[in-house]
Structure 1
Amino acid sequence: MKIRRHYFILRESYPQSTDGLPFEVTTAELAEKLDCTHRNMVLLLKRMIQEGWIEWIAKRGRGNRSLLTFAKPLDSLMLEEAEELAVRGDLQSALELLQPRGAAVVGRFQQWLSGQFGFQTVLEGERRTDTLRFPMPGTIDSLDPARIHYIGESHLVNQLFDGLVRMDVRGVTVLPHLAHAWETNEARTEWTFFLRKGIFFHHGREMTSSDVKYTLTRLARLAPNGLYSWVYNGIEQMDTPDDLTIRFRLKARNEAFLSFLSTNRASIVPEELCEQVGEAFGQASGAVVGTGPFRLAGSSHGIWILEAFSSYFQERPFLDRVEVWTMPAGADRKEEDMEELRQFQVMHNVRIEGMAGGEWEQVRQSGTTCKFLTVNELKDGPLANAAFRSVLDYAIHRKELLRRLSGDVIEEASSFWSRPAADDSQSVDDADFQHTCSAMLRECGYDGEPLTLTTIPQYEHDAALIQEMLGKAGIHVHIHLIAAEQFKGKDRMSADLLLFAIMLDEHRELRLIDLYKSMMQHMDKRTSDILGDTLQCILAEPDAARRFSLFMKIEDELIRRQFLMFLYRKHLKTAFHPSVQGITLESLGWVRFRDLWFR
Structure 2
Amino acid sequence: MKYIEHMKVLTRYFNKKEEVETTIARLAEILSCSERHVKTIVNFLHQAGYVEWRIQRGRGKKPKLMLNYTHEEVHLKEAKQSVKMEKYQAAFFIVSQLEKEAQYTFQEWFRGYLGMTHKNIEDNDLDILRYPFYETKLSMDPLLIISRHDAHMVQQVFERLVEFNRHTGQLVPKIARHFESRDGKRWVFYLHKGVLFHHGRELTSEDVSATLERFLKEDNIKGNEIRMECVTRYSIVFQLKHADYIFPRYLSSLKASIIPIEVFKKDEEGFQNLPVGSGPFQLIRNDNEMIRLDVFQQYYGLRPWLDRVEVINTPALFQDDQSHPFRLTAPDTAWKEVRSIEEGADYITFNCRKSGPLQDSEFRRRICQIIDPEQFCLEGEMVAHSFLTQKSRELDLPVRSNAKQKLAGNVELKIAAQQIREGVNHEREAMILKQQLEQAGIEAEVEIVNAIQFKDPQVIEKYDLFVSGIALSDDRLLSVLTSIHSNQLSIFPCLDEDMKVFINKQVSKMKTFQDETARWNSYFEIEDYLKAQHAIIFLNHRIHTIYESESSQYANIELDSHGRVDYRAVWKK
> Which residues of 2 match residues 169-318 of structure 1 at below 5 A?
169-170=166-167, 172-186=169-183, 188-219=184-215, 224=217, 228-231=218-221, 234=224, 236-284=226-274, 288-318=275-305
Residues 131 and 373 (structure 1 numbering): CA distance in 2 closer, same or farther, change over 3 Å?
A: same
Deviation for aligned residue 1:290: 1.5
Structure 1, unpaired ranges of 5+:
12-18, 21-37, 54-71, 348-357, 427-432
Name the SS of the counterpart of 1:281 in structure 2: helix
> Which residues of 2 match residues 73-92 of structure 1 at below 5 A?
82-92=79-89
1:537 to 485, 489, 509: 509
Residues 133 and 547 (structure 1 numbering): CA distance in 2 closer, same or farther, change over 3 Å?
A: same
Q: How many residues align?
A: 520
2:393 is aligned with 1:396: no
Report Cα offsets for 1:278-325 as digits up to 9, x if no partner: 4321314xxx22211111222332411111122222221111111122
Deviation for aligned residue 1:89: 2.9
Report Cα offsets for 1:374-404 as digits up to 9, x if no partner: 10112234434545434433443333332xx
Percent of aligned pairs sharing the same letter: 26
Q: Is the 8 A contact 2:418 2:468 kept in 1?
A: yes
Distance 2:223 2:75 in 1: 53
Q: Is the 8 A contact 2:370 2:437 kept in 1?
A: yes
Residues 464 and 184 (structure 1 numbering): CA distance in 2 closer, same or farther, change over 3 Å?
A: same
2:154 is aligned with 1:157: yes
Deviation for aligned residue 1:132: 0.7
Name the SS of the counterpart of 1:482 in structure 2: strand
Name the SS of the counterpart of 1:466 in structure 2: helix
Name the SS of the counterpart of 1:146 in structure 2: helix
Taking only aligned residues, the RMSD between alpha carbons, in angstroms, comes to 4.1
Structure 2, unpaired ranges of 5+:
17-27, 51-68
Residues 542 and 43 (structure 1 numbering): CA distance in 2 closer, same or farther, change over 3 Å?
A: same
Name the SS of the counterpart of 1:378 in structure 2: coil
Q: 1:370: which partner in 2?
A: 345
Name the SS of the counterpart of 2:229 in structure 1: strand
Deviation for aligned residue 1:590: 5.2
Q: Is the 8 A contact 1:180 1:195 kept in 2?
A: yes
Distance 1:104 1:514 in 2: 49
Deviation for aligned residue 1:361: 3.4
Name the SS of the counterpart of 2:276 in structure 1: coil
Q: Is the 8 A contact 1:131 1:322 kept in 2?
A: yes
Deviation for aligned residue 1:76: 7.0
Report Cα offsets for 1:150-201 as digits up to 9, x if no partner: 2222111111111111110237201111111111132x11111111122222
AA at the equivalent of 2:176: A
Report Cα offsets for 1:207-261 as digits up to 9, x if no partner: 21111111112445xxx5xxx4433674532111211111111233223321111
Residues 171 and 97 (structure 1 numbering): CA distance in 2 closer, same or farther, change over 3 Å?
A: farther
2:555 is aligned with 1:581: yes
AA at the equivalent of 2:412: E
Provide the TM-score with structure 1 as the length reference: 0.75
Q: 2:540: which partner in 1?
A: 568
Q: 1:360: which partner in 2?
A: 335
Name the SS of the counterpart of 2:265 in structure 1: helix
Provide the TM-score with structure 2 as the length reference: 0.78
Q: Is the 8 A contact 2:273 2:286 kept in 1?
A: no
Distance 1:207 1:545 in 2: 36
Q: Is the 8 A contact 2:382 2:542 kept in 1?
A: yes
Report Cα offsets for 1:424-454 as digits up to 9, x if no partner: 367xxxxxx9xx634x22xx41435344334
Name the SS of the counterpart of 1:551 in structure 2: helix
1:424 to 390, 395, 398: 398
2:411 is aligned with 1:411: no
Name the SS of the counterpart of 1:592 in structure 2: coil
Residues 96 and 533 (structure 1 numbering): CA distance in 2 closer, same or farther, change over 3 Å?
A: farther
Deviation for aligned residue 1:273: 2.7
Report Cα offsets for 1:12-68 as digits up to 9, x if no partner: xxxxxxx99xxxxxxxxxxxxxxxxx9897349x999x99x9xxxxxxxxxxxxxxx
AA at the equivalent of 2:500: S
